Amino acid sequence: MRFEVPQFIEVEDKIFGPLTWRQFLYLGGGIGMSVVMFITLGFFAFLLIGLPIALLSGALAFYPVNGRSFDHFLESVINYTFKQRLYLWKQKADIVHKNETPEETRPTRPYVTPPTPSREQAPQNGVTSMARRLELQALQKTE
């Protein structure tokens, strides 16, 4: 038995004719609020309050900004306006887990002192590093 895998998962399903569920709710809410305001308020108050609500609901339903829906764009504008723009990194305390093993299972190694160089093995002029010795020789040649 084979199942169909949807190909375009970013595209919303059309529920009410050519409208998606989101578009239908925005339009229904905006038009409903505008009609209630037109009936209850005067014409001038409707123009001041109801018409911008109807325009906002139309923009929320149909107007994309840069390929994103208007409600996502409006949310981004509000977040940018009211949230902190400068992010300062705050280091959290380090979490250290100490794994302790029982004393009897710890391997014990005897402490061995490193061998000290004898007079024959000791470097000449007290210089221990080959790089430092070459550097000193180069400085002596330039003088």
Per-residue model confidence (pLDDT) at position 56: 92
- The per-residue pLDDT for range 89-109, each reduced to its tens digit, is 777 777 777 776 666 655 666
Residue 126 lies in a domain: no
pTM, two decimals, is 0.50
For the stretch 12-54, pLDDT in tens is 778 778 888 899 999 999 999 999 999 998 889 889 998 899 8
The strand pairing partners of 65, in sequence order, are 68
pLDDT at 78 over 70: yes
Please give the Cα distance from 47 to 24 (Å, whole number).
Answer: 23
- Overall domain count for the chain: 1
28 lies in some domain: yes
Q: Tell whether the model's pLDDT for residue 120 goes beyond 60.
A: no
Instruction: Kindly give, in sequence order, each residue whose CB lies less than 8 Å from that of residue 68, ignoring residues fewer than 6 positions away.
Output: none
The answer to whether residue 29 is domain-embedded is: yes
